[in-house]
């Protein structure tokens, strides 16, 4: 999928939710200010699921040609030893 805007937004939300997840594991009341039930399980549910979903979106929208992660195979000439075509390498 070729969508750099979606990729950047998902990356930002992924990092932001990972930071809030870490802070919420330490002090749940910091990140769950809107609810009366502030537990670490709720932090894992809210921010863990957000991090998981945005992480999947982020890695699904990677453009291998655009960010230097192009899969380059070894040329045929580099895999052959001393110009010998096929066969055992110990010949």
pLDDT digits (tens, 9 = 90+) for 31-50: 998 889 899 999 999 999 99
Q: Is the pLDDT of residue 20 over 80?
A: yes
Instruction: Tell me what pLDDT residue 62 has.
Output: 82
The number of CA neighbours under 13 Å toward the Cβ of 33 is 4
The per-residue pLDDT of the chain, averaged, comes to 80
Helices (H), 1-91: 4-26, 28-31, 40-43, 49-60, 76-79
Extents of the domains making up the chain:
4-65
Contacts (Cβ under 8 Å, ≥6 apart) of 17: 47, 50, 51, 54
Its pTM stands at 0.65
Coil, strand or helix: which one is 37? coil
CB contact at 8 A, 4 and 66: yes
């Amino acid at each position: 999928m070729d969508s750099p805007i979606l990729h950047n937004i998902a990356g930002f939300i992924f990092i932001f939710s990972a930071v809030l997840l870490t802070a919420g594991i330490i002090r749940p009341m910091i990140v769950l200010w809107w609810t009366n039930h502030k537990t670490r399980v709720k932090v894992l549910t809210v921010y863990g699921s957000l991090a998981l979903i945005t992480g999947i979106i982020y890695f699904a929208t990677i453009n291998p040609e655009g960010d230097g992660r192009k899969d380059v195979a070894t040329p045929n000439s580099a895999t052959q030893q001393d110009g010998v075509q096929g066969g055992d390498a110990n010949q």
